[in-house]
Structure 1
Amino acid sequence: MTNTTPVEENDQPIVQHDLLSETDRLKLRQVADNDSNTESIQIKVCEDKAARTAFHVLIKVEFPQLESFTQTTDDGQKIICVRKQTKSQQRRRGWWPSYRGDYTHFVLYKENKDTGDAVGLLSKFLNVKASNFAYAGNKDRRAITVQRISVYRVTADKLSQLNKILRNMRVGNFTYEKEPLRLGQLWGNRFCIVLRNVAGDCDCRERSLQSLRDKGFINYFGMQRFGTYSIPTYEVGKALLHSNWATAIDLILNLKAHEVDVSTAHQLWAETKDATRTLTKMPQRCTIARQLLKGIQKHGLRDACNALSFIPRNTRMMYVHSYQSLVWNRVVSRRVQRFGLKPVVGDLVIKANLTSADTVRQKVERRVEVELLTEKTIDNYSIHDVVLPLPGFDVTFPSYESSSWYEEILTGDDITLQMLNHRVKDYALSGSYRKIVMKPVDMTWDVLSYDDKTIPLTVTDLDRLEGKSLVLDTKGGKLAAVRLEFSLPSSCYATMALREVTKTDTSAAFQTTLND
């Protein structure tokens, strides 16, 4: 994130503000403020068409609720007539200039919040629906993160004003675009991670880091994929795939029930199923639960499917993708246990000759093409090329016994491959492909020495924006830390990479037991 000042799009037309006299500008304000759209004013202009066009552009920019058009008088003079748009025109365009893209893209910096919670706060402060926001992927709460967000027809200036009231969040780098962001529309993520109080043999530590860089790690979905609550998100996903809407609602409202300020609301819901009363007790920070309760208020439990639609689509998809990821993790464990870290005949690889742009496009559209390894082609590939499918109704499975592994796991949850082609398209899983082993990209690391356990050992993007630098004596400290930087493709988890180095549990429950 490089700035917090609103930036208009590059193709914005040049506006000549001096074309309007203060007298004409006052008259236009009066027309704009008038509730009636019958009042209009006429302004004489020159015969030059380019000058008239510049005038129309100026009206659109300074008075987007007005419309202007050129007329010719009886004596042949050109005049511009300006009047207020009809209510239907205002609703249709929302007073949004026609030259401007409908979506404002911006960078969101956040601390100690996942993307859904952060977007919930933005929607509250802006008084717009959370569904008006879109992003390419969800960023974890247990990190300081920066990501691109898009929102429908909210001005850069209005977004920028939020920086005065946001805590541990910042928005900036605004542009207007014709299209919103879409889930999966990114290559990946860049990580900067500090491992504190690192002990043990220096040579062993160095070998572990080199092994991660050169050989990679098993590409499991991390624990974040399954939520940090007592009820994992894949349980919600299973309920949705079974079309058991009531169960899904109870599970979602129960996700944070262990937290003190949520327990009262959860107990009230369990006893009464009264969405209105429960909403009065549900904390404002529980944006997903509150959106769901508002959906129940409108549709009732008899139409629970539509009530669930009040939750942003990305979040609802996250639940079924969580279940899909659980199945993949179980299958890849069997694959590695059965065949080890080498390609075998019948494995799948992505077809060659795809550009990086093709890869991103196919990921979004789920049209990746794969081929089966044969005795003739197996020597052309390594384990880093092999993929396994995430279960879906439109994927190819390896030709060895792994297809039966998928069926066995799904059957254990009373789910079939046919059920993944859900009648509610938001919950339909066409499937995709994921590499078994992943190597970090551009991985570097350095070792730091320190004494004070509370001081930061790296700088954030916000620190850089504010001109702060890291003040640290890296030679005199008694404690050692490793600072790593690397990139991973989307949906690959840094926690799984770190597990190869630390050989410890990366779950939140275990990490909170550590002292440093």
Structure 2
Amino acid sequence: MNSDSLLVPTITKSERVIGHIKHQSEDFIVCEKIDENHILDPRIETYNLPGKKGLFLHFVLIKNNIDTSVALDWISNLWKVERNDLSIAGTKDKRAFTAQRVSLWGVKRRYEEGNLKEITLPKIKTKSFCFRIKDIRLGDLWGNAFDITIRRIPTEATIIQSSLETKIREINDFGYLLNSFGQQRFGKIRPITHLVGEKLLLGEVREALKIYVGKSYGTESQEALDARKLYWETENPQDVLKIIPDQMHIEKKILKYLQKHKNYERVFLSLPLQFQKLFIHAYQAYIFNKYLKIRYNEYSKNLCEPLFGEKIIDNVSYAPLIGNKTELTGQSKEIYSKILENEEVSLHDFNRSLAVKLGSRGSYRALGMKAHNLLINDIAEDELNPGKFKVNLSFELRKGSYATEVLKEILSQG
């Protein structure tokens, strides 16, 4: 499947700026915004975390160019705590410099005895320990604030300024951009999370693990490609473990479990809970993106006026994010019925026992998103790319919305 088919096209018409993001991780800064008064910026030293005193450890995780799940694995190993006891409000981009809250249960005595130290490593740091009455749950945030540098822009500063001002006016005039799930929801290097999710939804756990470990894309290292190819052809964990690169942490964990157990569902359920839920949620996101494209192109471009079967919240239309508790009606049902028929799945598949365990309830998701406080902060010569220019932008998004979906309206990566 072409990864472009996972995404929703742009809707603004003015010319986009040619440039590149994430030249280095510090060019993509993500600050978790807990509420109107608390923003966690990875560039500052101390934080005041909200909440009443209690038994859950809360701390700030600063990470740089590392996947959220890998960072949490490191913390689990270094502190010798259960991985599932670490909770976050949401994942952050891998190739980025990010700050977010994490909660952990059952370590207050260790902390009081001085046996729980802050972690300071090149890729991760833990800061601002405090104890609060509640743990952190998925979605416990207002959203995220972004500070992004676009590099390797070939045009002059005055032209960049004019183009960006035109684009920002157009975005503001639209009011809402399409609130699609971004590429990172499906995997940037290997867009396979929704493929794994589809197999889990159908109860085909062996096939799901085979795709996760064995399906390769040419953008990976040769060592990774060789390991994936060997597993795809043989499904022999012992042989693959001899050649698999160290950085493939989750794959190694799966292969080691497979050496001991041939119960594929048991192997899958031994993985961290938040990681397990990633895949069916990715498949739900894939289906939602298809819904959004059809709805916008064939039914109505008005994101503030619901179709029959959608609902209105805070002046924007919300559509079902399909799951085992979803009840479809009207035009919404009509669109989803076409999609599910083409995908050869049904609503009943979301009621399979494994799908229910993995949190496939479904919900509603806004069809439109606003880029709050979208600003041009600076345009200057690009010190990393002589003869080119760079621009620094900032904006805020509500939880569940993707910065890359704003940037694709602004940026053409030529």
| TM band (smaller chain) | 0.7 to 0.9
Residue-by-residue CA offset, 1:127-173 (whole Å, 9 max, x unaligned): 3332232211111112111111123334555553431xx22221101
Q: Is the 8 A contact 1:5 1:160 kept in 2?
A: no
CA positional deviation for 1:188: 1.1
Matches within 5 A, 1:380-419: 381=315, 385-397=316-328, 399-400=330-331, 402-419=332-349
Match for residue 162 of structure 1 among 116, 119, 134: 119
1:224-271 deviation digits (Å, cap 9, x = unpaired)? 111123452100000100110110111111256743333454455446
Q: Which runs of 5 or more structure 2 residues have no equivalent in the other structure? A: 1-41
Partner amino acid, structure 2, of 1:207: T
| In 1: Cα distance, 2:136 partner to 2:306 partner | 38
Q: Which residue identity is paired with 1:160? A: K
Instruction: Return the offset for 1:327.
Output: 0.8
2:114 is the counterpart of 1:205: no
In the aligned structure 2, how far is the partner of 1:344 from the partner of 1:119? 40
Query: Displacement of 1:420 after TM fit?
Result: 0.9
Tell me how far 1:274 sits from its aligned partner: 4.3
Counterpart of 1:346 in structure 2: which amino acid? F
Residue number in structure 2 paired with 1:293: 255
Shift of 1:123: 2.2
In structure 2, do the counterparts of structure 1 residues 428 and 418 end up closer, same or farther at CA, with 3 Å as the change threshold?
farther
Q: 1:493 aligns with which of 393, 402, 405?
A: 402
Q: Indicate if the aligned counterparts of 2:306 and 2:312 stay in contact, CA closer than 8 A.
A: no
Measured in 2, the distance between the counterparts of 1:288 and 1:311 equals 8
> Do the aligned partners of 1:136 and 1:148 also contact (CA within 8 Å) in 2?
yes
- In 2, Cα distance between equivalents of 1:5 and 1:210: 35
Matches within 5 A, 1:366-445: 381=315, 385-397=316-328, 399-400=330-331, 402-424=332-354, 425-445=356-376
RMSD: 3.0
- Go from structure 1 to structure 2 and tell me whether the alpha carbon gap of 1:392 and 1:447 turns closer, same or farther (over 3 Å shift): same
CA contact (8 A) 2:321 2:363 kept: yes
| Structure with the greater alpha carbon radius of gyration | 1
Q: 1:4 to 1:203 in 2, by over 3 A?
A: closer
Change (3 A) 1:250 1:202: same
Equivalent residue, structure 2, for 1:193 = 148
How many angstroms does 1:501 deviate by?
1.7
Q: Distance in 2 between matches of 1:270 and 1:281?
A: 14
SS for the counterpart of 2:353 is coil
Name 1:177's counterpart in structure 2. Answer: 132
1:259 aligned to which of 215, 218, 221: 221
Please give the residue correspondences for 1:238-253 in structure 2 after superposition, counting only pairs within 5 Å.
238-253=198-213
Q: Are residues 197 and 253 of structure 1, via their aligned partners in 2, closer, same or farther at CA, if it must alter by over 3 Å? A: closer
> Which has the higher mean CA deviation after the structures are superposed, 309-318 or 129-138?
129-138
* Gap change, CA 1:350 and 1:174, over 3 Å in 2: farther
Query: Does 1 or 2 have the higher relative contact order (CA < 8 Å, sep 6+)?
Result: 2
Q: Which residue does 2:92 correspond to in 1?
A: 139
Distance 1:344 1:423, change over 3 A: closer
Distance 1:10 1:185 in 2: 15
- The Cα shift of 1:280 comes to 5.0
Post-superposition offset of 1:341:
2.3
Say which is worse superposed, 177-186 or 386-395, in terms of deviation: 177-186
Q: Secondary structure at the match of 1:149?
A: strand
Is the Cα–Cα contact under 8 Å of residues 229 and 256 in structure 1 kept in the other structure? Answer: no
5+ long unaligned stretches in structure 1: 12-99, 353-380, 456-477, 505-510
- Tell me, in whole angstroms, the C-alpha distance in 1 between the residues paired with 2:353 and 2:118: 42
Q: Conserved in 2, the CA contact under 8 Å of 1:421 and 1:428?
A: no
Aligned length, in residue pairs: 357
Amino acid at match of 2:202: H
Q: Does the CA-based 8 Å contact 2:309-2:333 persist in structure 1?
A: no
> Are 2:295 and 2:335, in contact at CA under 8 Å, matched by a contact in 1?
no
Which amino acid counterpart does residue 309 of structure 1 have in structure 2? L
Query: TM-score scaled to structure 2, two decimals?
Result: 0.77
Displacement, 1:497? 0.7
Alpha-carbon shift at residue 481 of structure 1 (Å)? 3.1
Residue 225 (str. 1) matches residue 185 (str. 2): yes
The verdict on how the C-alpha distance between 1:135 and 1:280 changes in structure 2, with shifts beyond 3 A counting, is: farther
TM-score by length of 1: 0.63
Per the TM alignment, residue 197 of structure 1 is displaced from its structure 2 partner at its CA by: 4.2
Three-state SS of the structure 2 residue aligned to 1:160 is coil
Percent identity over the alignment is 27
